[in-house]
Amino acid sequence: MSSLNRVCLLGRVGNPPEVRFLPSGDPVANFSIATDEKYTTKSGERREETTWTSVAVFGKLAEIVKEYVGKGKQLYIEGKLVHEEWEKDGIKRSKSKVVLSGPQAKLILLGGGEGRGKEESAPRHESAPAEDFQVSDDDVPW
């Protein structure tokens, strides 16, 4: 039986994206996205919980993030869930994040938020396919 690793999120960017370049020269953008859940408890109390998720975007989509995405920008993203583990100062750490790379990745710029560019100047095809961007195991840092 096959498996599926697909994450879809609709939320707001929590910090300005940090864009860097891999040794291959391909861009990667890192940022966090906030998703909110509003609900009412059994006692009638209204609550809102925010979940912060780390996101890494590669290739052409990273270039779009660099140009048009800023803190507060609302995004719809589709990618895969990746779990990282590392050790720093003798302490084991781990983190899960959503990775957008390859032809199945999707990023749609939505209204609202500051963003870096004006809403009118965003690309017409807001979901940019990444079909001609390939990530090798040597390029990905985990």
Nearest Cα residue to 31 out of 2, 1, 9, 6: 9
Each residue's pLDDT tens digit, 76-135:
999 999 999 999 999 999 999 999 998 889 999 997 665 554 333 334 334 444 444 444
Each residue's pLDDT tens digit, 81-95:
999 999 999 999 999
pLDDT confidence of residue 114: 59
pLDDT at 10 over 80: yes
pLDDT confidence of residue 24: 92
Q: Class assignment of domain 7-38+49-121?
A: mainly beta
Are the beta carbons of 73 and 114 closer than 8 angstroms? yes
pLDDT confidence of residue 112: 63
Distance set, CA 76 to CA 70, 82, 89 (Å): 14, 18, 36
Helix (H, G, I), strand (E, B) or coil at 45: coil
Nearest Cα residue to 34 out of 15, 13, 62: 13
pLDDT confidence of residue 1: 77
**What pTM value is reported for the model?**
0.73
Cα 59 off chain centre by? 13
pLDDT confidence of residue 104: 87
pLDDT confidence of residue 111: 79
pLDDT at 19 over 70: yes
pLDDT confidence of residue 129: 44
Each residue's pLDDT tens digit, 29-78:
999 999 999 999 999 999 999 999 999 999 999 999 999 999 999 999 99
Q: Where are the domains of the chain?
A: 7-38+49-121
